[in-house]
Chain A
């Protein structure tokens, strides 16, 4: 990922330790060590923090799922998300249920079919599908697997998840049409460009006559948890020059941002 200009920039300014992260880590250690649940007062006293500071830290940890608060007593314990760290960040069915209204709205606005995908074993798993709103015969694609490098959804996931791109390997990639990107270095350049603009397109790279646009769905802290996009006939998705229609790109990006906001990503 050496093409990412931001990666180089961080090397030049190494910041010192961040106090609130240190304190957050101390709270997690304290909760892990204790046998029962702890109140905000106990935590503040144990760590020598003002009560308000401890409360703010706990609220943030609760927001990201690292701690949980008991409804009845108001006391805290380690959250379930911490136990599954690295395995299932966001349940795919949870993602669908949180995204469903926005996906419907995107289909209605764009008049195209909408799909949401996540990474599964180096492929795109379709977790949600909304039909193109023209009442033509269409079949539900939920559960199907798509190649990462030849789809807009897959390229978004590759661009923002370095773990996923590692699974592709160094050799040439499968060609589905003559426009499929098969050269790993060409793909790396394409992914860098996607990171730059924040969305991906696919024009006849998977199926002749078909094009797609997709954008990332982010969770807490900006972590990409999925991709959302539209697919349709190339003459509807692209303009005369073969570039994706800017209005459609805006619809896709707005919808993905709306889902991200619902999932707790603040900046997007």
Chain B
């Protein structure tokens, strides 16, 4: 039987999706299942890892059925996953010790402040490329130890395993307690605060700093490599890749050359720039991370600018204010006026991420006059996403010394023409959307197909990439400069709002 397809598993924050792709990178079938979001306390977000595993058990065979494809026709499985979500499970029973602590969870706030006050804290960012923040996994492991008597000792004895979601799925697919493989890939490992960015190995000093025993950690492997063969759910199929979801989107957008960048526009947005085989240390508020590692080749690094609130601002406009019925209608409302009328919205709902990293900032609407209508507000909502992108792009250009020439975009917000045009206008570079919008899944499929020789090389993948739409900048330079100046002044007004509690 000819191996005709590759399957991707995208284990995301709200759902798990399986997609079957053909050799030209076209979708053959899609199945999806949402899982519950648990919010046990303010700031806490948890997922039930067993529910996620059961969802996969259900949708993976369903995707094959829908495509009319047999197991023997699948060349490989590639996994993309929500990053930094932290799970501990029992090696012997295969059961999670408690629910997974999700990347949005901020329970480690106080712990992170405490760790940051220690003299060795300066070493963290130098070694792993990331600032010490609640966003990443290591403080969560430490929090779980502190909250559960005896857990650290069990972890030291190797009875308890740590993993992000790709580790959990690979361990289960390859047998679970019955010989499951405990591993992670370099991109996911680079988000833990525990990996040395230069050696791509767990770092003894970082493990000491966070108090994490090595025995519980998965083995770090390249992003594309045949890790093993599934014994459950998709028995006999090779597992060929794992990547964090944003890195998978970078791969799916075929940003294989230094200077190529993509931005995925969803609830939040993530801009990622390929910086080649040397990590670029940011001095402008960006994260240094691993982009991907193909087999035994040197790892490719990336600069990342996460923006916390983009699509979420549109959702708030719909659900919180009730000014529109669906997210897409924001464009209709924004088009009822010609400009923002002098109004700007800075959506610092939970502080600002890249490039500011101001946790005490809160959202502001400035420039309100009696002239402002809901149409102007709708424009300001869309423009906020564009200006936040501009801030991150400026930081990337400054850090990397490369001037961005084109921005490849994906994600749900790319359906908004007005927004895409505005992004091209404020960045003053062309914005292009690829034919396959599912770039996270496609990237995981590409990586897996590459591992098993289903696709020959990166150039072969590039040939699959086609432009579906392109927006060219048309804004006058003077207007761009004046608007950017207004935006920067609006951002300053969002700073220093929250006061430290006594």
Interface residues of A (CB under 8 A from B): 80, 91-94, 96-98, 100-101, 104-105, 107-109, 129-131, 133-135, 138-140, 142-143
Contacts and interface: CB of A to CB of B under 8 A. Distances in A.
B329 A91 contact: yes
A133 B329 contact: no
Given A93-B416, A96-B415, A142-B417, A104 B329 contact: no
Interface string B449-469: 000000000000000001111
By Cβ-Cβ distance, the 4 closest A-B pairs, closest first, are: A133-B466, A97-B415, A97-B328, A94-B328
A142 B335 CA distance: 14
Contacts of A91: 325-326, 328-329, 332
A131 B468 CA distance: 5
A93 B325 contact: no
Contacts of A92: 332
Nearest to A84: B325
B263 to A, nearest CB: 17
Given A80-B325, A97-B326, A104-B468, 8 more contacts: A91-B325, A91-B328, A94-B328, A94-B329, A96-B328, A104-B437, A129-B469, A143-B417
A105 B468 CA distance: 10
Contacts of B327: 97
Interface residues of B, number: 26
Nearest to A100: B415
Most B CB contacts (10 A, CB to CB) among A104, A109, A130 go to: A104
A91 B327 CA distance: 11
A109 B24 CA distance: 10
Contacts, number: 73
B467 A100 contact: no
Contacts of A94: 326, 328-329
B436 to A, nearest CB: 7
A247 to B, nearest CB: 16
A120 to B, nearest CB: 13
B12 interface: no
Contacts of A138: 467, 470
B331 interface: yes
B467 A131 contact: yes
A92 to B, nearest CB: 7
A239 B241 CA distance: 44
B63 to A, nearest CB: 16
B412 interface: yes
Contacts of B210: none
B404 interface: no
Most B CB contacts (10 A, CB to CB) among A91, A130, A134, A138 go to: A91
Contacts of A105: 26-27
A93 B328 contact: yes
Contact of B437 (A96, A101, A139): A101
Contacts of B470: 131, 138-140
A130 B332 contact: no
A107 B331 CA distance: 24
B417 A107 contact: no
Contacts of B116: none
B469 A130 contact: yes
Contacts of A134: 466
A134 B435 CA distance: 11
B177 to A, nearest CB: 39
A131 B465 CA distance: 12
B436 A104 contact: yes
A93 B435 contact: no
Most B CB contacts (10 A, CB to CB) among A91, A93, A105 go to: A93
Nearest to A92: B332
Contacts of A131: 466-470
Contacts of B412: 97
